[in-house]
C-alpha cells in the first residue's frame, strides 16, 4: 500500500492527530471551527489525501474517502496495482464499509523508467 506522509489527519474519531508516517502519536489539535464551505472543502481534501490506510469515518459521517497512488512499470510486468487496490478495499471492508465509488486519474512520469502514475480515489460507505 502507498505510505501516508507525516502530517495532521483525522484519526477516525473526530480528533486531529499527528501521523508520523508510521503510526499515530499522542499529539492532537483542537478541531478547527467550520464556518463556511471553504472549511468543509478543506477538510474533505485533507481526508482524501490522507492515503490508503484503513480508517473509520469521522463521528457522525457515513463515508470514508481514500486515495491510492499507483505506478505503472515502464519496463517489465507486475506493477502490483491490483493487489494494492484490493488491499485497500478489503481493509475498509473489514471495518464495515463497502466500496461506493471509484474514480481514476492518470498522468505520465518524467525520467528514466518513470512509467505512468494513476491515482485512484475511492469512496466507501458504512454498512448499517
Give the model's pLDDT for residue 70: 74
Give the model's pLDDT for residue 62: 86
Q: Record the pTM.
A: 0.50
Element (H, E) at 39: helix 37-48
Give the model's pLDDT for residue 1: 47
CA distances from 28 to 9, 37, 38, 60 (A): 9, 24, 22, 20
Coil, helix or strand at residue 73? coil
Query: What are phi and psi for residue 86, nearest 5 degrees?
Result: -60, -45
10-residue stretch averages of pLDDT, the chain, 128 residues long: 72 79 81 63 59 72 81 60 82 89 78 67 86
Q: Does residue 56 come out as left (phi exceeding 0), alpha (psi in the -120 to 50 range) or beta?
A: beta
Amino acid at each position: 500500500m502507498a505510505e501516508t506522509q507525516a502530517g495532521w489527519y483525522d484519526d477516525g474519531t473526530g480528533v486531529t492527530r499527528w501521523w508520523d508516517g508510521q503510526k499515530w502519536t499522542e499529539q492532537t489539535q483542537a478541531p478547527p471551527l467550520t464556518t463556511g464551505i471553504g472549511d468543509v472543502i478543506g477538510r474533505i481534501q485533507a481526508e482524501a489525501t490522507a492515503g490508503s490506510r484503513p480508517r473509520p469515518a469521522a463521528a457522525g459521517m457515513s463515508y470514508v474517502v481514500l486515495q491510492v497512488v499507483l505506478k505503472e512499470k515502464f519496463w517489465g510486468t507486475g506493477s502490483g496495482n491490483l493487489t494494492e487496490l484490493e488491499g485497500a478495499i478489503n481493509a475498509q471492508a473489514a471495518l464495515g464499509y463497502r466500496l461506493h465509488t471509484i474514480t481514476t486519474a492518470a498522468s505520465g512520469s518524467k525520467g528514466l523508467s518513470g512509467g505512468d502514475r494513476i491515482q485512484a480515489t475511492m469512496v466507501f460507505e458504512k454498512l448499517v
